[in-house]
A and B are shown apart, each in its own frame.
Chain A
Amino acid sequence: MSASYDLYQEQILDHYRHPRNKGPLPDATLNARDSNPLCGDEVILHLNIDGSRHASEVRFEGQGCAISQASASILTTMLKGSSMADIEALDRDALLKKLGIPLSVVRLKCALLPLHVLRLALGDSKAVRT
Chain B
Amino acid sequence: MAKPAKVLLNVPAIKADFPILQRKVRDRRLIYLDSAATSQKPKQVIDATSDYYSRYNANVHRAIYELGEEATREYEGAREKIAGFIRAKSPNQIVFTKSTTESLNVVAYGYGLKGKLQSGDEIVGTVMEHHSNHVPWHFVKDHKGAVLKYVDVNDDGTLRMEQYDELLTKRTKIVTVTLCSNVLGTINPVKDIVKRAHEVGAVCVVDAAQAAPHMSIDVQDLDADFLAFSGHKMLGPTGIGVLYGKPEALDATEPLLGGGEMIREVHLGRASWNDVPYRFEGGTPNIAGAIGLGVAVDYLTKLGMDAVRAHEMEVTQYALEKFARLDGVHTYGPKDVKKKAGVLAFTIDNAHPHDVASILDVEGICVRSGHHCAQPLMERFDLPATARASFYVYNDLEDVDALVAGIKRVQEVFA
Interface residues of chain A, those whose CB is within 8 Å of chain B, are 2, 4-5, 7-8, 13, 38-41, 63-67, 107, 110
Contacts and interface: CB of A to CB of B under 8 A. Distances in A.
B177 to A, nearest CB: 26
Given A2-B362, A5-B362, A39 B413 contact: no
Contact of A5 (B352, B354, B384, B413): B413
Given A8-B359, A39-B369, A65 B26 contact: no
Given A8-B413, A39-B371, A40-B370, 12 more contacts: A2-B26, A5-B413, A7-B358, A8-B358, A8-B359, A40-B384, A64-B354, A64-B384, A65-B352, A65-B353, A66-B414, A110-B354
B385 interface: yes
A66 B385 contact: no
Given A5-B362, A5-B413, A13-B414, A39 B355 contact: no
6 contacts: A2-B26, A39-B353, A40-B384, A64-B384, A66-B355, A110-B354
B362 A39 contact: no
Size bracket, chain B contacts: 10 to 19
A19 to B, nearest CB: 13
Contacts of A64: 352, 354, 384
B362 A63 contact: no
A7 B361 CA distance: 12
A81 B370 CA distance: 36
Contacts of B351: 66
A39 B385 contact: yes
Contacts of B352: 64-66
B354 A67 contact: yes
A65 B413 CA distance: 13
A40 B385 CA distance: 7
Nearest to A40: B384
Contacts, number: 45
Contact of B354 (A4, A13, A39): A39
Interface in B363-384: 369-371, 384
Contacts of B385: 39-40
**Which of A4, A38, A65, A67 has the most C-beta atoms of chain B within 10 angstroms of its own C-beta?**
A65
Contacts of B414: 13, 66
B359 A39 contact: no
Given A4-B26, A13-B414, A66-B352, A38 B370 contact: yes
Given A13-B413, A66-B352, A39 B370 contact: yes
A75 B354 CA distance: 20
B369 to A, nearest CB: 7
A2 B363 CA distance: 10
Contacts of A13: 413-414
Nearest to B370: A39
Interface string B24-66: 0010000000000000000000000000000000000000000
A40 B26 contact: no
A7 B26 CA distance: 15
A41 B384 CA distance: 9
Contacts of A41: 354
Contacts of B355: 8, 65-67
Contacts of A107: 354, 358
Contacts of B413: 5, 8, 13
Interface in B338-363: 351-355, 358-359, 361-362
B354 A63 contact: no
A13 B350 CA distance: 11
Given A39-B370, A67-B354, A4 B384 contact: no
Nearest to B409: A5
Nearest to A106: B354
Contacts of A65: 352-355
A110 B361 CA distance: 17
Nearest to A35: B384
B358 A40 contact: no
